[in-house]
Structure formats: C-alpha cells, structure tokens
Amino acid sequence: MKARAAAGEIQPGTLYVADTQTAGRGRHERTWASPAGQNLYFNILIPLEGIPLASAPQVTQVAALTFAEVFKSLQDESNAHGLGNQSVGKVTVKWPNDILCGKSKFCGILAEVVYVNQVQHDSSGQVHPAISMGVGINVNSSPLDYAHLGRAVTTLKDICGQKINREKLLQMLIANLERAIGQFRAFGIRPWVAAWKRMDQFIGARGTIVVNNRCTDQNRESGDGAIKKNGTILDMQEDGSLLFKCDDGTVETVYSADLEI
C-alpha cells in the first residue's frame, strides 16, 4: 500500500482485504500467523486531513478502542445467550494499541504514516500524509493454531463460543472506525482516553516497556537490540502517552514502545 500510495495509484479511503497473509508482520517485526479462510486481515488508508501529523499515533489508539468496543459487544451478546466462553475473561485494551481477552491477544494493529501522491486530484502536485493501518484479527481459527508462538493468543470464536461472520464483522469495524475518526478530528484524543481507561485492565499492573524498532522475534528474549525497563503502569495520560514508574524509582512518560505484561 505504501508504494502504491506514493505512486498515486490509490487514494485515502482505499481498503484492501485478504483471506490470508504470506508475510504478515506485527510490531517490532514480529511474525503474524495467518491461516487461510479463518480470520480477517485488512489494510486501510486513512487520510490525515484535519489531523496534525504529531497526532498520528493517537489515530491508532482510537482505532484500537473502537474495534475493542465492537468485540466487547459481540462478547456481551454471546454471553447473554449463554454461548460465550466464560473462562477467557473480558475483552480489554493494552497500551498502545493491542486488543486482548484476559491476557490473550487476538487483534493486532500496525500503522505507519505514508505520503499519497494526489497529482490526479490536486493540481499543486503535492503529496499528502495518510495512515496505512494494517489490522489482523483472529476470528474463526483455534487458539491451538498459535501454540508454536509461545505466547498467549485467543480468537473471537473461542471468546464468543460460536463462529463469526467475517463479512459482517468487517462492515461493523469499518463503519464504526469512520465515525470514530470523524469524532477524533472534532474533539481530539481526550474523550477517548476516558473510554480507554474503562476498558484497560492493566493500569496499576507490573509490566515491561520495550523500546527499539530493531527488536525482533529472534532477539527479543536475549535482549539484543532492545531497551527493556521493568516497572509499574501508572496511567494513560490525556495525550495518549503512558505514565510508567521504573523499578529504579524514575517515572517516565512513554510515547512509543511495546508494553509486555
């Protein structure tokens, strides 16, 4: 999507949907398992018109919370009909943009700023920033499909106790995301922070922040190329940043990192 946007071949609002992925990746170059015909993988190009470039990371947080609310509604509906898996916990969010059930992840978001060549639509020939947001959701696969990853993973089917219609789910997610981005343009991140805190079960918990884009699946455990700090998650602040108290007593404001629980 990045290359096609730069070439002017696609414009903001473009949505790609895949049935599987052959080179899926997550934060810090983690691999993303992508069995065919089971899950939902999509990439959407979100225009940054009316949004400061510095606020781009907040768009991803708004998307994560918006999606989490959709998943929670599905979980609540399944539980009301006696179908839900009561043992997996509640749908929750984890800073900066992970969606979990209990401590098991089932939705990942990876976003980057790209520059769209709008020469066919803008006589000035200028490029305009947008967010290329890739989303991977474990929908109808089994948690056993991810046992080889060595980390807690679940699926919507396991959470809800029933198969999920992927097409309807995608329609719900995109419709809600469009409304959310419009609200974010109008009101900024502050209203979303309060909603985030209501769904975040990890404030006050122990955690590890990992800072380094060169940290990969291969070197995470050894720590090579990564800066890791252990401590306590104090709060999510009004600008969407994380307030983190390190074990050495220092308190840091974290704008970009991975958070391990």
Same domain, 62 and 155: yes
Last residue in a domain, options 159, 180, 199: 199
Same domain, 169 and 189: yes
Same domain, 140 and 234: no
Last residue in a domain, options 199, 231, 248: 199
pLDDT per residue rounded down to tens, the chain (261 residues)? 778 887 788 888 899 999 887 665 555 455 555 778 899 999 999 999 889 998 999 999 999 999 999 999 999 999 999 999 988 999 999 999 999 999 999 999 999 999 988 655 555 567 889 999 999 999 999 988 887 877 889 999 999 999 999 999 999 999 999 999 999 999 999 999 999 999 998 999 999 999 865 444 444 444 455 789 999 999 999 999 999 999 999 999 999 888 998
User: Residue 195's CB: how many other CB atoms inside 10 A?
Assistant: 15
CATH number, domain containing residue 247 = 2.30.30.100
Same domain, 195 and 210: no
Return d(Cα 161, Cα 173) in angstroms, integer. Answer: 20
Residue 260: burial class (beta carbons within 10 Å; 0-12, 13-18, 19+):
middle
Same domain, 116 and 227: no
CATH number, domain containing residue 94 = 3.30.930.10
Same domain, 187 and 221: no
Same domain, 193 and 210: no
> Would you put residue 150 in left (φ > 0), alpha (ψ -120 to 50) or beta?
left
Same domain, 171 and 239: no
Q: Which residue range is the domain that position 190 belongs to? A: 2-199
Same domain, 63 and 183: yes
**Of 97, 91, 59, 70, the residue nearest 198 (C-alpha):** 91
Task: Give 207's contacts (C-beta < 8 A, 6+ positions apart).
Answer: 230, 231, 232, 233, 244, 259, 260, 261
Same domain, 127 and 233: no
Same domain, 220 and 112: no
Same domain, 140 and 252: no
Number of domains into which the chain is organized: 2
Last residue in a domain, options 148, 170, 199: 199
**Of 67, 56, 185, the residue nearest 113 (C-alpha):** 56
